[in-house]
Amino acid sequence: MKHLEVSDLRFSQGDFSLQASFSLDRGMTGIILGPSGCGKTTLLRCMAGLEKPDTGSIMLDGNAISLLPPEKRNLGFIFQDLALFDHLSGRENIEFGLKLRKVPKVDAVASIESLAKKLKIEALLDRKPFFMSGGEKQRLAFARAIATKPALLLMDEPLSSLDAPLRRELKAYLRSTLSREGITALHVTHDVEEALELGDEIFIMNHGRIVARGAPRTIFEAPPDAWCVRFLGLGFLLPVLGIEIKGTTSIANTSFGSYAYPPHECKASKAQIDNGEAYFFVPKRAVSLQAGSMENMGSGSSIGILDAKVEDIIFQGTFQKIDLLPTPVRDAQEGAGPPTTCDHIEVEIGSAVAIAKGGRVRFSIDPAKCAIVPALVRS
Amino acid sequence: MNLIRVIPAEGEMRKAHFLGMGTSRKFRGVFLSAAAILIVAVSSLAASCQQAETKNLTIWTYDSFVSEWGPGTGLAKLYEQKTGIKIDFVSKGDGGALLSSILAGGKNIDADLIIGLDNNLASQALDSGLFSAAKLSNLGKIDSKLLVDNKNRLIPYDYGNFAFIWDSQSKITPPASLEDLTKPEYSKKIILMDPRTSTPGLGFLAWTQAVYKDGWKDYWKRLAPSILVMTPGWDTGYGLFTKGEAPLVLSYSTSPAYHKAYEKTERYKALVFAEGHSAQIELAGILSSSKHRKDAEKFLDFLVSEEAQALLPETQWMYPANASTPLPDSFSVVPKNIVTLNASVADPVNDPEAAAAILAEGAR
Amino acid sequence: MKGKDNVLLRSFGFLAATFTISPLVAFAVSAFAGAGKAGGANKALPLLLAFISPSTLSALKFSLVQATMSTVLALLVGFPGAFFVARYNFRGRRFFMALAAVPFCLPAILVILSFILYYGKSGYLTLALARLGYIPKGEGLLYSIWGLVFVHAFYNFPIVIQNVGSVWAKMPRSREEAARTLGAGRLRSFTTGTLPYLLPSILQSASLIFLFCFFSFTIVLVFGGLAGSTLEVGIYRAIRFTNDRPKALALALLQTAIALLVVGAFAHFDRKNAAISKDFGNPPPRRRPRSFSLLAIGAYSILIALFFLGPLFALTAEAFTVRSSLAGASHFGLENFSRLLTGPNPLLLKAAGSSLALSGFAALAATALGFSVAASSHYAARRGQTMKAIGFGVSMNSWIIAFPLALSPAVISAGWSALMNSSGDMLIVIGQMAIAWPFVARSLSAAFSSIDRTRNEAARTLGSSPLQAMIWVDAALIAPSVASAAAFAFSITMGDANIPLILGGGKRETLPLLLYRLTSSYRFSEACAVGIVLALFTSIAFFLKERTNETS
């Protein structure tokens, strides 16, 4: 049995409904990732006992905690606004939980001292939150939450209110502390990079459901649907007009060319394809830029060289992000069908490459790395 | 993030500079309108100061005199019909406020006559030296007992005895004397007015001093358990009485007349105490600083004439000072056999305070 | 730029101070120079003696004791209401908040009458209880210090609901929840996570209620009865009856000194409250109450209806009761109203018209002045120019606004009286404006400090000039608060009976003045009728204020 097991947790309020089942091993950090309004904070609050779910069970370390009030669940919770007690000093904030557990004074003092040393917050112990910076408050909130050695640490977008350098610093801090202390944690965020950096396991939520789960690498390489592709920024999608099976080869027809893709990578059903709800997913690594421009190209062949206009170039330090708008190969006049426009394509190239905005480039797609994904997976 | 400093504001400021205002158009408008209001105020002040030159008589009085149910409007109309002189009544609040305004105003009072002082406040008013003697033709018709001032600076226009009003629908027997009021059967059954803040209260204090002389403090000690409440003014006290809070209230012997006239009931009766009652004599006087002496005298004369006095009983609910004035029907329920005592408060500064303190002691 | 703002700030401050100080100065001058007892220099000694006389000290003690007791009870009664209003959405929630209008708009005589009509010997409640077989003992309990405290508390508690409730509603719950996750039960989480943040608004409400009770005059005398008297009574008497102005001055100074302490406390907690509220962010959602809380809300509402609305209901019933004819029989009817509305001189109509017009103008003027003071001090503060006063660390602006609340009504009346030798409508408007503007300034100060500065700056980045940003963004943000402050000023001036009397010579009969005249002429039922109309007008204004607050 895993350290944390959540079974069929359901919560509904008005139009919104949440349904989740998942589990987490001891010492792992699970990330609940999703756009705002998807229900991730609600899920976290249900786990903490701050919201009452309609049904479902939560087992933590073998104990059923779903019927317990929050104070008895032995959790740590870091709120988005940190929720520090402004009228108490740093030390008193941390002491709060220890006092409630009737930890003897001597042990508590020792605990706090060692925690403060480990988390480098000694200077904050005798200060009040008003006199602390954003990052310091964050660390204090963290210290307060783990001081009582909770079985599970819940974090609600803990880094969202910080500026970039601080965020970087604290991400490193979180990663090292969580693993060193062996804390099982559930971390809610809408930031994809954060999720990838900090998560041992990622649960992607949308509209109150977990739509994808797995290790970061797994999700990255094999997203279950078009929505995840977009949300995670994994690549771009071409609407599929139809599928042709020619012997052992499966070919996807799109307005930007026809591509033979690995048959086992088709995650959409026939019905979805026929309804125009399937997309040809081209991951970033499947795109390579060709040098030169196109003056006299015929229509796209199965080799898949496409023409695109450079819409924007964004300097990212070590690389450049190029925003491309590809030119459709098939004409709109060829019958009504899926729209011939598609997403902008983001390609990353080395910063040394010279490229002009407004210019035209050619790029090719390696279909072996692509897949067919449906518009949305309802699980 | 301080964008305000980033974007140069100096340019904008210089545009508005010529108005001498630093900040926004909005303030300018508000400041100007505030200034406008002030200007209008000052000019209206100035305008009203011009009034002194007109032919009106300005009379300061207390509020119920000029209210809808008081005699003021009727008297003014009558007088204007007779003489063509317009009367301008100015209300100053209650009797105490009237006195206070006079004393504060001193020689600068922009009024000709004062109507509404009473015998208890008279000495202070006279000490101020603001009133001058009046020569009236109707003076002879006034009961001589009412003439508080032998120099005729303050003239009585009506009077009434203080008396306890008894609710005949209550279950208690009516008391017959001040001493009766201290009996245990009347415990918490009497509503009094505060001698520190009302003229009836003061009048009652004078009453007890007239009857008990030096022993008045002991009387008040004995009276204390009978008092339910001491209200700051007559209106509150009488209001409580009519709402049934207590069966006895200090008021005027003429109060039953109101109930007879308007409510057609004789439920509330004025009690006559054989030992006598104190009285409130209401006084009017001409200010020495008046610019219309002749007219003021004429009006005062008019006030004590039968024609004017006839208006008083059913507006003031007091007896007219002019003895030959016929009384209306409603006054039939007012007891006629009341003996009026010559009563006044010995030490108007300290006695009311002492009386209230005695009651407070007794209530503990 | 600095200089200009200072000029502006100072000029509004000066204007405001003039209105406040001039009657006081006039009064003080009259105390030492006026006709009456011995002249000038001899007044110094009586003044000093008055400070230490036993009657002064006992009046002081009583004033403090009754105000404290009343405040405590009001807090106790109001606190549950604040909780319900903050956490739940239920029908009548807005009504609860709007109840806060009552302390400001009903004249004292009506309060007294209504409580008597309800709790008195022949009152509705007493009779109803008798029907049920319960005859309460304690005759005259109403007329003791307990009665006084009860009346004060049940008159002022809505202030707690309004002030504490509105802060509580906006307060994020995360600290309380954090305490729960750390292992604290409900009560502990409340005391650690919510109470410390609620304390400033609680203390601010307490200061305000204390002030009202401290200055209470008629209510104290009637219901406190023989228990004692307050400083205000002493002042009143010294001015009106014994013409002992030095004594009045002494008492007034003592009273104002204490009141200033309380006002200082009020301003201090008000600021603290505003500072805390600034960091609140989005208000947490309110729930529909579930079974247990619904029951609690219901029980509380019944309590309020019984003890607070009861008297108001009794007042309304009395307004429709016509007492006439034989043996004191009475019946329900509209005669009280019709007598005042018909005939050659429809008093109620005229009074209503006068009240509406005078209060309307006064409210506009008060809003203009209050807005100017609040706005100029806000913008000056943004540029870092608050004039700090010593002591409480509270800025000068707060003092200018708060000072008028510490003044004795009797002294102010006497002062205006001494100041003005003439009368007129414009003076009434000015006098009423002088009363109302501090309240406007105070509520707008709070509104200004909660203006979201970033929106103004966002407008600037989009290209508007400082003026435009100020006008379009700030003005738009502050407009609802201005409207509601104006409504508040309107309510306050409606309920005032003194100014039209003193400054208007009694010629302009407003609703409160009409009421006062009716009670002085035996006409109590009609007085109740006028009172109902008065209460209606003032509460409509207040209700509108609440609506704009909600939508803003």
- What's A187's domain CATH number? 3.40.50.300
Task: Specify whether A38 is located in the same domain as A73.
Answer: yes
How far away is chain A from the Cα of C175, in angstroms, using its nearest Cα? 5
In a domain, A102, yes or no: yes
Inter-chain CB proximity C178 and A71 less than 8 Å? no
In a domain, A193, yes or no: yes
Task: Specify whether A78 is located in the same domain as A165.
Answer: yes
Inter-chain CB proximity C470 and B231 less than 8 Å? no
Please compute the mean of the pLDDT values over residues C419-434 and round it to a whole number. Answer: 77
Low-confidence stretches of chain A (pLDDT beneath 70): 291-304, 329-343, 377-379
CATH topology for C57-319 is MetI-like fold (1.10.3720)
Residue in A closest to C279 by C-alpha: A81
Residue in B closest to C28 by C-alpha: B104
pLDDT level of residue C10 (50, 70, 90 thresholds) = low
Residue C146 has pLDDT above 70, yes or no: yes
The answer to whether residue C280 neighbours chain A at the CB level (below 8 Å) is no
CA distances (Å), origin C256, targets A123, B91, B110, C25, C235? 46, 29, 32, 14, 12
- Which residues of chain B have a CB within 8 Å of the CB of C369? 34
- Which residues of chain A have a CB within 8 Å of the CB of C193? 83, 85
**pLDDT value at position B50?**
45
How far away is chain C from the Cα of A103, in angstroms, using its nearest Cα? 12
In A247-352, which ranges are E strands?
249-254, 257-261, 278-283, 287-290, 305-315, 319-326, 345-350
In a domain, A379, yes or no: no
Q: Where are the domains of chain B?
A: 54-159+280-330, 160-278+338-363
Residue C195 has pLDDT above 60, yes or no: yes
Give A 114-173 residues with CB within 8 A of chain C: 144-145, 148, 154
Indicate the angle between helix axes C54-87 and C44-52, nearest 10 degrees: 60
Q: Where in chain C is the domain with CATH 1.10.3720.10?
A: 1-35+335-552, 57-319
Residue B353 has pLDDT above 50, yes or no: yes
Task: Specify whether A365 is located in the same domain as A243.
Answer: yes
Domain B160-278+338-363 falls under CATH 3.40.190.10: yes
The answer to whether residue B33 neighbours chain C at the CB level (below 8 Å) is yes
Inter-chain CB proximity C184 and A71 less than 8 Å? yes
Q: Phi and psi for C432 in degrees, rounded to 5?
A: -70, -35
Q: Which chains touch A (3 or more CB pairs under 8 A)?
A: C
**pLDDT value at position B2?**
31
- Bridge partners (DSSP) of residue B269 are B166
Q: Phi and psi for B285 in degrees, rounded to 5?
A: -155, 160
Cα B123 from chain centroid?
16
Inter-chain CB proximity A85 and C192 less than 8 Å? yes
Q: Phi and psi for B81 in degrees, rounded to 5?
A: -60, -40
Instruction: Quote the radius of gyration of chain B (alpha carbons, Å).
Output: 27
Q: How far apart are CA C228 and CA C235, in angstroms?
A: 14
Q: How far apart are CA C290 and CA B80, in angstroms?
A: 73
Q: Under a CB-based contact definition with an 8 Å cutoff, are residues B75 and B303 in contact?
A: yes
The answer to whether residue B168 neighbours chain C at the CB level (below 8 Å) is no
- Which residues of chain B have a CB within 8 Å of the CB of C471? 24-26
Residue in C closest to B360 by C-alpha: C226
Q: Which of A75, A77, A85 shows the shortest C-beta gap to C193?
A: A85
Q: How far apart are CA C401 and CA C403, in angstroms?
A: 6
**pLDDT value at position A141?**
92
Residue C348 has pLDDT above 90, yes or no: no
Q: Under a CB-based contact definition with an 8 Å cutoff, are residues B203 and B278 in contact?
A: yes
The answer to whether residue C181 neighbours chain A at the CB level (below 8 Å) is yes
Task: Specify whether A270 is located in the same domain as A215.
Answer: no
CATH topology for B54-159+280-330 is D-Maltodextrin-Binding Protein; domain 2 (3.40.190)
Q: Which residue has the higher pLDDT, B3 or C444?
A: C444
Q: Under a CB-based contact definition with an 8 Å cutoff, are residues C477 and C71 in contact?
A: no
The answer to whether residue C330 neighbours chain B at the CB level (below 8 Å) is no
pLDDT level of residue B40 (50, 70, 90 thresholds) = low
Task: Specify whether A233 is located in the same domain as A197.
Answer: no
- Which residues of chain C have a CB within 8 Å of the CB of B51? 422
Q: What is the DSSP string of A324-373?
A: EEEPPSS-TTS-S-S-S--PPEEEEEETTS---TT-EEEEEE-GGG-EEE
Asked whether at least 3 C-beta pairs link A and B within 8 Å, the reply is no
Q: Which chains touch C (3 or more CB pairs under 8 A)?
A: A, B
**pLDDT value at position C328?**
46
**pLDDT value at position A330?**
58
Most confident of A306-320, B34-48, C137-151, C351-365: C351-365
Task: Specify whether A201 is located in the same domain as A271.
Answer: no
Q: Give the pLDDT confidence of C464-506 residue by residue, as tens digits.
A: 777 676 667 777 777 877 887 888 888 888 877 777 777 777 7
Task: Specify whether A210 is located in the same domain as A248.
Answer: no
Q: Give the pLDDT confidence of B167-187 residue by residue, as tens digits.
A: 998 889 999 999 999 999 999
Residue B222's CB is within 10 A of a number of other CB atoms, namely 16
Per DSSP, the three-state class of B265 is coil
Q: Under a CB-based contact definition with an 8 Å cutoff, are residues B27 and C375 in contact?
A: yes
Q: Which structural domain, as residue segments, surrounds residue A79?
A: 4-221
Listed in sequence order, the residues at least 6 apart from A208 whose beta carbon sits closer than 8 Å to its beta carbon are A16, A17, A18, A19, A38, A39, A42
Per CATH, B54-159+280-330 and B160-278+338-363 having the same topology is answered yes
Q: Which of A175, A203, A221 is at the close of a domain?
A: A221
Residue C225 has pLDDT above 80, yes or no: no
Task: Specify whether A289 is located in the same domain as A361.
Answer: yes
Interface contacts (A, C; CB < 8 Å): 69
Task: Specify whether A202 is located in the same domain as A274.
Answer: no
**pLDDT value at position B41?**
55
Q: What is the DSSP letter of B50?
A: G
ipTM: 0.81
In a domain, A271, yes or no: yes
**Which amino acid would we find at residue A210?**
I
Q: Which residue has the higher pLDDT, A49 or B35?
A: A49
Residue B18 has pLDDT above 50, yes or no: no
Task: Specify whether A183 is located in the same domain as A238.
Answer: no
Inter-chain CB proximity B104 and C417 less than 8 Å? yes
Give the least confident one: A285-299, B297-311, B332-346, C446-460.
A285-299
Torsion of CA C304, C310, C312, C313, to 10 degrees: 130
Inter-chain CB proximity C177 and A71 less than 8 Å? no
The answer to whether residue A80 neighbours chain C at the CB level (below 8 Å) is yes
Q: Under a CB-based contact definition with an 8 Å cutoff, are residues C460 and C469 in contact?
A: yes
Residue B15 has pLDDT above 50, yes or no: no
Q: How far apart are CA C390 and CA B39, in angstroms?
A: 35
pTM higher than the cut 0.90: no
Q: Which of A205, A221, A237 is at the close of a domain?
A: A221
Q: Give the pLDDT confidence of C349-383 residue by residue, as tens digits.
A: 888 888 888 888 889 988 888 888 787 777 766 66
CATH topology for C1-35+335-552 is MetI-like fold (1.10.3720)
- Which residues of chain C have a CB within 8 Å of the CB of B107? 35
**pLDDT value at position C238?**
83
Q: Which residue has the higher pLDDT, B39 or A38?
A: A38
Helix, strand, coil share of chain B (percent; to 5): 50, 20, 35
Residue in C closest to B65 by C-alpha: C517
Give the least confident one: A175-189, B251-265, C104-118.
C104-118
Q: Phi and psi for B273 in degrees, rounded to 5?
A: -100, 130
Which among C409, C439, C437 is positioned nearest to C501, based on CA atoms? C409
The answer to whether residue C175 neighbours chain A at the CB level (below 8 Å) is yes
- Which residues of chain B have a CB within 8 Å of the CB of C112? 236, 239
Task: Specify whether A32 is located in the same domain as A158.
Answer: yes
Q: Which of B96, B236, B264 shows the shortest C-beta gap to C218?
A: B236
Residue A319's CB is within 10 A of a number of other CB atoms, namely 15
Q: Give the pLDDT confidence of B93-141 residue by residue, as tens digits.
A: 777 788 888 887 778 788 899 999 988 888 888 888 889 888 888 888 8
**pLDDT value at position C207?**
92
Q: Which of A221, A250, A273 is at the close of a domain?
A: A221
Task: Specify whether A336 is located in the same domain as A200.
Answer: no
Q: How far apart are CA C246 and CA C42, in angstroms?
A: 10
**pLDDT value at position B108?**
79
